[in-house]
Amino acid sequence: MSLPQLLGCASIDPITLRADQGKLQDLTLATTRPGFSGAGYAAGFKNSTGEIEWTFEAPHPGIYDLQIRYSASGAKGYELILNDVGYDGTLPASPRDFSEHNAGKVEIAQGKNVLKLGRGWGNYDIDSIKLVPSGPLAPPKAVAAKLADPLATPAACALMERLAQNYGRGTFTGVIKDADRKHVESVTGMTPMVMGGDLMEYSPSRREHGSNPRNETERLIAAAAAGHIVTYLWHWNAPTDLINQRNFVTKSGKRVDASWYRGFYTEATTFDFAAALDQPDSPAYALLIRDIDVIAAELKKLDAAGVPVLWRPLHESDGKWFWWGARGPDNLKRLWRLLHDRLTNHHQLHNLIWVYTWNDHDWYPGDDVVDMIGMDAYPKRANDPLIGKWADALRHFDGKKMIALTEIGGTADVPRMRRLGAHWSFFASWTGAQGPQKTPEADLRRIYQSPDVLNLGGR
């Protein structure tokens, strides 16, 4: 489908789709909540059922801003499909009966269009959708190439400068494993710029059970020598109190695999890091420090080799599925600051660019300890441009912090994303079935051979 990039015509009227005009599946048209705009609003959305579908004609194709009028008691994810392209996002908690959420930009076709909204996390109400002709797609505001660490190494400063210079101009490509790099190379003839790694197997509680890091740090040092930008995350196995039962029944009655190798998940440990932080003289606190010090030794190897690191610990905290998110936002911030202080001041590690994986702003540790913003996304549809997630982050960080797609299931469709206005600093595909192999080969070639991306050997 070929569409004009911009509408830019003030005379084009918005398109409004009310709930009472749509086809409801496993939903009801409710009237209990005041303030709805038609004959009622769509209610009864669940995480696995409930969908409203509109079929409408558009005389003017192009890019529109999509606004959702809704009600939700808390943040709620939703699934939106327009002409077979996914545009999933998250509705923030609404402070009144109905609020409007700008879900970002979408592409409207000439003539017939089909829009579906539903499922996601469920437990929200939908009053209407408004599609407003969009103006020019401006890139994000420039961000100063300044790190929070005043003692940042020249290599870290140079990497930050490189990222800042290209922010809004192109998106660096990335993968997590060498096998993923080889797949991209074999299909596209291009080499991803960013190479990722995971410190998970260095976690002491995993080493106690015989895990083998297999020289992950040395692999990344070699990748940097080959010209890659390096990013490192840490699936931190809880320092202690691992449940270590394969068929464990939680308090809610859910049966889970709580084996030691899943010790970074909340459901696989009883470790209370908030209590440990409250008692700096306790054995539990000492174990936190022990683990951080072990990881510091690996980061020092990179520092000694002159390698700057896009460092993203404690990721996806607000999802609460990892133990570092299980005690709420305030305690996550305390742990982040402990980690930052221990690595930066005690270990004198100044080669780190601190990347915080953001979703809910209540969890944000603060500008003084964060250099970049990351977002992780595993969209149900591989063609989802994630414009809603980009729009959410931009509202908080435009002109302040660069925003990257630090994990994505599949491959970021950078040409579509940039056409709609999402200018991620870089993306990093996850691995295995959620890696580049998930992307059809024709799409993988189209993305990696696009002038919108920056591969190894590019700028």
CA 120 to chain centre: 16
User: CB of 131 within 8 A of CB of 106?
Assistant: yes
User: And the tokens for 294?
Assistant: 């072990």
Q: What is the per-residue pLDDT across 277-298, written as a single tens digit (0 to 9) for each?
A: 999 999 999 999 999 999 999 9
Q: What span, in angstroms and rounded, lies between the C-alpha atoms of 113 and 62?
A: 12
Please state the φ and ψ torsions of residue 25, each to the nearest 5 degrees.
-120, 120
% residues pLDDT > 90 (the chain): 90
For position 2, what pLDDT does the model report?
43
Which whole number is the average pLDDT over 175-200?
98
* CA 11 to each of CA 5, 7, 8, 14: distance values in angstroms, whole numbers, following the listed order: 17, 10, 9, 9
pLDDT reported for residue 269: 98
Q: Count CA atoms within 13 Å of residue 25 on its CB side.
A: 11
CA–CA distance from 98 to each of 33, 115, 392 (Å)? 9, 21, 19
Average pLDDT over residues 319-334: 98
pLDDT at 96: 79
Coil vs helix vs strand at 159: helix
Per-residue confidence (pLDDT) for residue 142, from 0 to 100: 98
Which whole number is the average pLDDT over 199-208?
A: 99
- The C-alpha angle with vertex 6 and arms to 4 and 7, in degrees rounded to 5, equals 100
Left if phi > 0, otherwise alpha if psi is -120 to 50, otherwise beta: which for 244? left
Class of domain 154-454: alpha beta
Region 153-173: mean pLDDT is 98
Q: Does the pLDDT of residue 10 top 90, yes or no?
A: no
Predicted confidence band of residue 6 (pLDDT cuts 50, 70, 90) = very low
Q: Which two tokens stand for residue 253?
A: 């009655």
216 part of the active site = no
Per-residue pLDDT for 459 more than 70? no
Percentages (nearest 5) of helix, strand, coil residues in the chain: 30, 25, 40
Query: If you ran DSSP here, which 8-state letter would residue 325 be given?
Result: G
d(CA 244, CA 261): 8
Let me know: does 406 contact 375? Beta carbons within 8 Å. Answer: yes
pLDDT band at 5 (very low <50, low <70, confident <90, very high): very low
Alpha carbon distances (Å) from 228 to 174, 231, 323, 432, 456: 9, 9, 31, 20, 7
107 is known as an active-site residue:
no
Instruction: Give the Cα separation of 398 and 154 in Å (integer).
Output: 25
Q: What is the CA radius of gyration of the chain?
A: 23
Residue 285, SS3? helix
- What does the pLDDT look like over 19-57, one tens digit per residue? 999 999 999 999 999 999 999 999 999 988 999 999 999
Model confidence at 458, in pLDDT bands (50, 70, 90)?
low
**Greater pLDDT, 152 or 6:** 152
Confidence check: pLDDT of 363 > 90: yes
Q: In the numeric block, which tokens belong to residue 359?
A: 């979703």
> In the prediction, which pLDDT does 35 show?
96
**What is 15-133's CATH number, 2.60.120.260, 2.60.40.10, 3.90.1150.10, 1.10.3720.10?**
2.60.120.260
pLDDT at 3: 47
Interval 83-105: pLDDT, tens: 999 998 889 999 778 999 989 89
CA distance 419 to 414: 8
- How many angstroms separate the CA atoms of 274 and 328, rounded? 9
Distance (Å) of CA 251 to CA 248, 254, 256, 326, 348: 10, 7, 11, 15, 42
For 392-422, b where at least 16 C-beta lie within 10 A, e where not — what string? bbbeebeeebbbbbbbbbbbbbbbbbbbbbb
Average pLDDT over residues 182-202: 99
Q: For residues 316-322, give the mean pLDDT.
A: 97
Q: Look at residue 237 in the predicted model and tell me its pLDDT.
A: 99
Nearest Cα to Cα of residue 38 among 25, 19, 14, 66: 19
Catalytic pick among 51, 107, 298, 407: 407
* 330-358 confidence digits (pLDDT tens): 999 999 999 999 999 999 999 999 999 99
Domain chopping of the chain, boundaries: 15-133, 154-454
pLDDT, position 136: 60
Question: 389: closest CA among 78, 14, 54, 49?
Answer: 78
Mean pLDDT for all residues in the chain: 95
Catalytic residue among 51, 79, 107, 316: 316
Question: pLDDT at residue 7 above 80?
Answer: no
Query: CB of 352 within 8 A of CB of 157?
Result: no
Is 334 in contact with 277 (CB distance < 8 Å)?
A: yes
**pLDDT at residue 95, as a whole number:** 78
